[in-house]
């Protein structure tokens, strides 16, 4: 029987408990969606950083080939090239270059999962590609980033969508924890228009408050990017296989 667990926040599971798992990290609004877009647009790699100063210091040696991206308070960091909106990450802005990314919540989830056997970045934009990549894994953990230390409904919706596709073949072969079952039910109870649904989530409310409505639409484009970003925990970089 395959084991499938959802954790609504990183602190709900100890890092060492993930060591035998294929972990899908989700920060739907917006780091996960942005990482997918950056790699789909031709970025060589995405390197996640916890702190602004760390990203700046690491970029100095290769600045011409590095795109600094990220946000604090939802807005582009002073001195950075790009913010955290997927639409900013185009072939022209990141193609052939390295992206050093730091965000308030999203780049902390991969760090929490660094002991896992595999770490994959999941979002709505690459939903089916992620499911196909992990379908035969014996143990799957979905790790939601949350927002400001609190659970975020947008991450749980994305987790529920992954759960639904995974168990659609033969539900009896899957063992779900309570949070996985709850995420599935949350996803199945959603409204018909996903982008509209996201407007009422914690991350969505934050984006609307700073005028970034377009990001909600971009992050709701299900299966628009057939990419599976995967973290190399040793080299500490996210690339496409």
At 69-83, the pLDDT tens digits run 999 999 999 999 999
Q: What is the number of structural domains in the chain?
A: 1
- Residue 106 is predicted with a pLDDT of 86
Rounded-to-integer distance, Cα 131 and Cα 165, Å: 7
Mean of the per-residue pLDDT values of the chain: 97
- Residue 45 is predicted with a pLDDT of 98
Q: What is the CATH number of the domain that holds 140?
A: 3.90.1560.10
Domain with 94 in it: 2-239
- Residue 148 is predicted with a pLDDT of 87
Exposure b/e, 19-39, CB count within 10 A at least 16 = b: eebbbbbbbbbbbbbbbbbbb
At 168-214, the pLDDT tens digits run 988 899 999 999 999 999 999 998 899 999 999 999 999 999 999 99
As to burial, measured by CB atoms within 10 angstroms (0-12 exposed, 13-18 middle, 19+ buried), residue 98 is buried
Residue stretches of the chain with pLDDT short of 50? none
Q: Structure tokens of 206? A: 């934050």
Strand intervals (E) in the chain = 2-7, 22-26, 45-48, 66-72, 75-76, 98-102, 118-121, 139-144, 174-176, 230-232, 237-239
Rounded-to-integer distance, Cα 240 and Cα 46, Å: 10
């Amino acid at each position: 029987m395959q084991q499938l667990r959802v954790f609504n926040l990183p602190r709900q599971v100890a890092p060492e408990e993930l060591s035998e798992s294929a972990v899908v990290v989700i920060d739907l609004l917006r780091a996960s969606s942005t990482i997918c877009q950056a790699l789909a647009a031709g970025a060589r790699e995405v390197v996640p950083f916890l702190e602004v100063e760390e990203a700046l210091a690491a970029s100095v040696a290769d600045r011409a080939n590095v795109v600094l991206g990220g946000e604090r308070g939802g807005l582009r960091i002073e001195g950075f090239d790009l913010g955290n909106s997927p639409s900013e990450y185009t072939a022209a802005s990141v193609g052939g270059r390295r992206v050093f990314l730091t965000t308030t919540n999203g780049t902390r989830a991969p760090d929490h999962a660094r002991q896992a056997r595999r770490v994959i970045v999941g979002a709505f934009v690459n939903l089916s590609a992620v499911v196909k990549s992990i379908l035969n894994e014996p143990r799957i953990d979905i790790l939601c980033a949350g927002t400001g230390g609190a659970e975020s409904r947008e991450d749980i919706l994305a987790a529920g969508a992954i759960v639904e596709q995974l168990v659609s073949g033969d539900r009896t072969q899957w063992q779900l924890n309570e949070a996985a079952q709850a995420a599935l039910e949350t996803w199945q109870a959603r409204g018909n228009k996903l982008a509209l649904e996201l407007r009422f989530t914690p991350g969505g409310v934050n984006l609307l408050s700073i005028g970034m409505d377009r990001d909600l639409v971009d992050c709701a484009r299900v299966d628009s990017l057939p990419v599976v970003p995967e973290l190399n925990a040793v080299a500490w970089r996210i690339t496409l296989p």
